[in-house]
C-alpha cells in the first residue's frame, strides 16, 4: 500500500451559494461543526472561509474567523485548520469608466487579507499564486501582493498552501522558491475546472505535476462534476485530494449533498478502492512537516 492520502475538506467557500443551497454552512457554529464532522468522516484538513451570519454572504470579519477557530480548538478535534487568504482580490471593472470598481468588487491591500492569519495562527493557510478571470470580473493577485502575503505568513510560522489555477502560477511559485521567498518544497494545491483556469483533465493535471519540485507534496481537486474524477486522478498520479461544498454541491448527478461529511466519505471510498487510505490529521502533520506544538495553539 502506498503512503496514506491527505484529504482536505473545503467546507463553505467564498461564492454566493448559501442563499440557494441549505447544505452550505453559514454561521461560525455551523462552519466549525462542518469542519469537525468532516474530520470524523476522514478529512485531515479543513479549509475555511467565513460568511456573514445574517446574510450568508462571504465575509472577511476577523471576529468570525476567531469564533470558528476557537470552536474547533475548544472541541478537541484533531483536524488541521487551513484558513483562506483568498478574499480581498475580487475586482469587477466598469465598462464605461476608467479605474472604477463595480458592485461585487472587494479589493483589499495584502496586509488586510492576511491579518486573521497573523492573529489566529492556523497550521496552514492558502495563498493564491496568481490572477484569474472569474465571473464578471477577475481575482487579482499580483506578484508584489503575493510576496507581501507570503512574507507575513512566513513570519507567523504558518505553512502556506500554494493554490495554483494555471501553469503560470506554478512558474511564479518556482521563481519565489528560487529567490528564497517560499520554502524549498512547499505544499501545492492544483485548482482544476474553475472558470477560467486550468481545465479538470488527466492531461492538465499530469502536465502541472511535471512542473512541480520533485520533493514537494501536492494535491489537486476538480470543481463541480469533476470533483470525484479528480480524486481518483490525483491519487493515481501520487497526489493528495480535496472535496467539499466550496467546490461541489452534489453527491451524484442531480443529488444534492446534505453536508460536507458525505462528500468526504465518498472520496474515502474511492481512495480505498484504489488501494490506499486517508491519512489521520497527525499523519498529515508529519507528512507536511507541521510541528505538533503549532497544532496545539
C-alpha span between 101 and 90 (Å, rounded): 10
Q: Are 160 and 184 a contacting pair, CB within 8 Å?
A: no
pTM, two decimals, is 0.95
The DSSP bridge partners found for residue 83 are 48, 125
Q: Which helix (H) or strand (E) holds 77?
A: none
**How far is residue 227's CA from residue 137's CA, in Å, rounded to a whole number?**
24
Per-residue pLDDT, 20: 85
Q: For 229-263, how does the pLDDT look when each residue is reduced to its tens digit (9 = 90+)?
A: 999 999 999 999 999 999 999 999 999 999 999 99
Residue 91 CB coordination number (10 Å): 16
SS3 sequence of 201-234: CHHHHHHHHHHCCCCCCEEEEECHHHHHHHHHHH
Distance CA 129, CA 236 (A): 25
At residue 18, the pLDDT reads 82
Q: Classify 58 in phi/psi space as left (phi over 0), alpha (psi -120 to 50) or beta.
A: beta
Query: Half-sphere exposure of residue 103, counting CA atoms within 13 Å on the CB side?
Result: 0
The rounded mean pLDDT for the chain is: 95
- Kindly give, in sequence order, each residue whose CB lies less than 8 Å from that of residue 292, ignoring residues fewer than 6 positions away: 282, 285
Residues 101-108, mean pLDDT to the nearest whole number = 92
In the chain, where the domains are located: 7-295
pLDDT, tens digit (0-9, with 9 covering 90-100), for 11-55: 999 888 888 899 999 999 999 999 999 999 999 999 999 999 999
| Lookup result for grid cell 472604477 | 100
Instruction: Provide the pLDDT confidence category of residue 293 given band limits of 50, 70 and 90.
Output: very low
Locus of grid cell 487551513? 82
pLDDT over threshold 80, residue 83: yes
Closest CA to 50 of 88, 21, 92, 80: 88
**How many residues are given for the chain?**
297
Contacts of 76 (CB under 8 A, 6+ apart): none
Question: CB-based burial of residue 258 (10 Å sphere; 0-12 exposed, 13-18 middle, 19+ buried)?
Answer: exposed
Q: In angstroms, what CA-CA distances link 38 with 43, 252, 259?
A: 5, 18, 9
Residue 292 is predicted with a pLDDT of 53
Distance of CA 165 to the CA centre of its chain: 12
Angstrom distance (rounded) from CA 25 to CA 32: 9
DSSP helix/strand/coil, 176: helix
**CA atoms of 247 and 227, how far apart (whole Å):** 7
Sign (positive or negative) of CA dihedral 133, 134, 138, 144: negative
Which 3 state secondary structure label does DSSP give 98?
coil
pLDDT at 40: 98
Q: Which CATH architecture has domain 7-295?
A: Alpha-Beta Barrel (3.20)
Q: How many CA atoms are closer than 13 Å to the CA of 124, on its beta-carbon side?
A: 26
Amino acid at each position: 500500500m502506498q503512503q496514506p492520502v491527505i484529504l482536505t475538506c473545503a467546507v463553505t467557500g467564498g461564492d454566493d451559494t448559501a442563499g440557494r443551497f441549505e447544505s452550505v454552512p453559514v454561521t461560525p457554529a455551523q462552519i466549525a461543526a462542518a469542519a469537525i464532522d468532516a474530520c470524523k468522516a476522514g478529512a485531515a484538513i479543513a479549509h475555511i472561509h467565513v460568511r456573514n451570519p445574517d446574510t450568508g454572504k462571504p465575509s472577511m470579519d476577523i471576529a468570525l474567523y476567531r469564533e470558528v477557530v476557537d470552536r474547533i480548538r475548544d472541541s478537541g478535534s484533531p483536524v488541521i485548520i487551513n484558513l483562506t487568504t483568498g478574499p480581498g482580490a475580487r475586482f469587477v471593472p466598469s465598462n464605461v469608466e476608467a479605474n472604477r470598481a463595480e458592485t461585487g468588487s472587494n479589493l483589499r491591500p495584502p496586509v488586510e487579507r492576511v491579518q486573521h492569519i497573523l492573529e489566529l495562527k492556523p497550521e496552514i493557510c492558502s495563498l493564491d499564486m496568481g490572477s484569474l478571470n472569474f465571473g464578471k470580473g477577475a481575482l487579482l493577485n499580483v506578484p508584489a501582493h503575493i510576496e507581501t502575503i507570503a512574507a507575513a505568513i512566513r513570519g507567523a510560522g504558518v505553512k502556506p498552501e500554494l493554490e495554483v489555477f494555471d501553469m503560470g502560477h506554478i512558474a511564479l511559485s518556482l521563481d519565489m522558491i528560487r529567490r528564497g521567498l517560499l520554502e524549498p518544497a512547499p505544499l501545492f494545491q492544483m485548482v482544476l475546472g474553475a472558470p477560467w483556469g486550468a481545465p479538470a483533465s488527466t492531461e492538465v493535471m499530469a502536465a502541472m505535476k511535471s512542473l512541480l519540485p520533485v520533493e514537494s507534496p501536492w494535491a489537486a481537486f476538480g470543481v463541480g462534476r469533476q470533483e470525484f474524477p479528480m480524486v481518483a486522478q490525483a491519487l493515481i498520479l501520487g497526489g493528495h485530494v480535496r472535496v467539499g461544498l466550496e467546490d461541489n454541491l452534489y453527491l451524484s448527478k442531480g443529488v444534492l449533498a446534505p453536508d460536507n461529511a458525505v462528500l468526504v466519505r465518498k472520496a474515502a471510498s474511492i481512495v480505498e478502492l484504489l488501494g490506499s487510505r486517508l491519512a489521520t490529521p497527525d499523519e498529515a502533520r508529519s507528512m507536511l512537516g507541521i510541528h505538533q506544538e503549532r497544532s496545539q495553539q
